[in-house]
Structure 1
Amino acid sequence: MPGDLQQLILQYALEWFNATKPPPPSYVPYVVQLHWIAPTYGVCKINTDGSHNSVSRFIGAGGLLRDNYGAWIKGFSVNLGVGSVLEAELWGIFLGLHLAWESSFRFVEVESDSSVAVALLSSSTISTHPLFSLSSCCKLKVQAGWRCSIKHIFRKQNVAADVLASKSSEFGPGVQYFTEVPAFLVNCLAADAIGVSRSRVVCA
C-alpha cells in the first residue's frame, strides 16, 4: 500500500508539472500559424475537448467526426456536472471513440488539445488513480478491433471541438448528439475545411 501511495503522489505531481510548467526563460517566443489538418482518405478524424468552469466546477465535453474533406459526419456535447478538467477531457475522448465505433468507422484518428489526457492514455495508469476506470475504458476503446491513434494538438487546431464543449452548459445533464451541423458551428467548420490559419505564440 505505501508503494502504491508513493506512485500515486508521483503521478499526480508529474501531471501537475506537465500541465503548469512555464517555458524555460532562455526560450524566445514567436508566432506560428496553425490550422486543422484533414485525415487521409478513408480515415475518420475525431476532435474532442473538455470544458471547466473554475467558479462552479461544472464540466462538459464536446467532439465531432469529420472526413478527409473536412465534412461533418456527427458530433456531440455533454453536460457532466461537477468534476475536474482531466475528467472532462477523458470523457470527451471516450464519447468520441464510442460515437465513431457505433458509426462503423474502423480507421480513426483522435486529436485532443489536452497533453495530460493524451499522456495518461499513452502510459500505464496505477489502479489507485481517481480516473483509473475512465482512462481504462478509453484504452479499451483504443485497443478494440480497429486502427486507432490518439495525438495531442494545439487548441488553435481544435476550435470546433472547443465550441461544442463550451456549449455543453446550455444543455441538461447527459449527452446531446448532433446528426446535422449545429448553426453555431457552421462558420468554424467552413474555416477548418479550407485551411484557415490561426495565430499562436510558441517558444523555441
Structure 2
Amino acid sequence: MERWVRWILLRPGFISLKTYGSSLWDWGVVRSTEGNWIFGFTWHACVCDSLRTKLLAILRGLSLCWEHGHRRVEFFIDSLLALGLITAYHPLLHQYACIIGSIKSLLRRSWVVHCRHKLREGNVVADHLAKLGSTHASVVSVWSAPLDGLCPFCKLMYLVWLF
C-alpha cells in the first residue's frame, strides 16, 4: 500500500502543534499557518512507556500553546491510541486517567483545538528535536528560535515522502 506523508495546509489563523513522545523524552514544535517556527520544546519524561510520554507531550504542548496565548490550534499526533483517548469517552479507570482528564480539561477551555492524526514520518522537526533532547542536559527546554541543525527542516513547507 502506498501512503503519502506531507505537510498539511492549516486553516487560516491557526497554529500547528506537533508532538511526539518516546520512553524517555517528549517533544514538540509549534509553527505558524505559513510553517514558520514559533517555539519548540523537549521535556525529560523519565523512563516509562510510550503511551504515557505521548499523553504528557500532548498535555505539555497544549499547555504551552495556552500559556503563549494561542487560541486557534491544529494539533497533530502520530498515535491513534492517544488521539482516541483524548477525543473519545474519558475512561475513568484507565491507568493514565489523570493525564487524560487534564488534557480534556485543557480542551474545554475557551479556544479552538482541532486534533488530527499524522504519521511520524511527516513530523521531521519533532523527530529531530527528539535526537537533540536525548543529548540535552536540561530536564525542560523551550526554544523560541530553531536550534542549529533544525533550520533546513523548518524552511521546508511541503515535505513529501512515499513509502
Counterpart in the other structure of 1:164: 129
1:80 offset after TM fit, Å?
A: 1.1
How far apart in 1 are the matches of 2:155 and 2:86? 31
The structure-2 alpha-carbon separation of the partners of 1:60 and 1:118, relative to structure 1 and needing over 3 Å to count, comes to same
- Structure 1 runs of 4+ aligned residues shifted over 4 Å read none
- SS at structure 2 position matched to 1:196: coil
Counterpart in the other structure of 1:119: 84
- Is 1:90 the counterpart of 2:61? The answer is no
- SS at structure 2 position matched to 1:64: strand
Whichever residue aligns with residue 40 of structure 2, its letter is G
The one of 74, 88, 91 equivalent to 1:109 is 74
How far apart in 1 are the matches of 2:127 and 2:67? 23
- SS at structure 2 position matched to 1:94: helix
CA contact (8 A) 1:142 1:149 kept: no
Give aligned pairs, total: 163
The one of 140, 143, 147 equivalent to 1:175 is 140
Q: Which has the higher helix share?
A: 1
Counterpart in the other structure of 1:42: 13
Over aligned residues, Cα RMSD in angstroms? Answer: 1.5
The structure-2 alpha-carbon separation of the partners of 1:173 and 1:88, relative to structure 1 and needing over 3 Å to count, comes to farther
For each residue in 1:143-198, what CA deviation from the matched residue of structure 2 results, as whole angstroms up to 9, or x when unmatched?
A: 1110112111111221212222333222246321001111121111122x2x1211
Q: Which runs of 5+ in 2 are unaligned?
A: none
How far apart in 1 are the matches of 2:113 and 2:134? 29
Aligned runs of 1:2-21 on 2, under 5 Å? Answer: none
Whichever residue aligns with residue 84 of structure 2, its letter is A
What percentage of aligned pairs have identical amino acids? 26
How far apart in 2 are the matches of 1:176 and 1:69? 24
How far apart in 2 are the matches of 1:165 and 1:125? 29
CA contact (8 A) 2:58 2:103 kept: yes
The one of 151, 159, 162 equivalent to 1:196 is 159
- TM score, norm. by length of structure 1: 0.75
1:124 offset after TM fit, Å?
A: 2.0
How far apart in 2 are the matches of 1:140 and 1:172? 31
- SS at structure 2 position matched to 1:40: coil
For each residue in 1:78-105, what CA deviation from the matched residue of structure 2 results, as whole angstroms up to 9, or x when unmatched?
A: 1111111001111111111111111111
CA contact (8 A) 2:22 2:49 kept: no
- TM score, norm. by length of structure 2: 0.92
1:199 offset after TM fit, Å?
A: 1.8
- SS at structure 1 position matched to 2:153: helix
Q: Which runs of 5+ in 1 are unaligned?
A: 1-28, 53-58
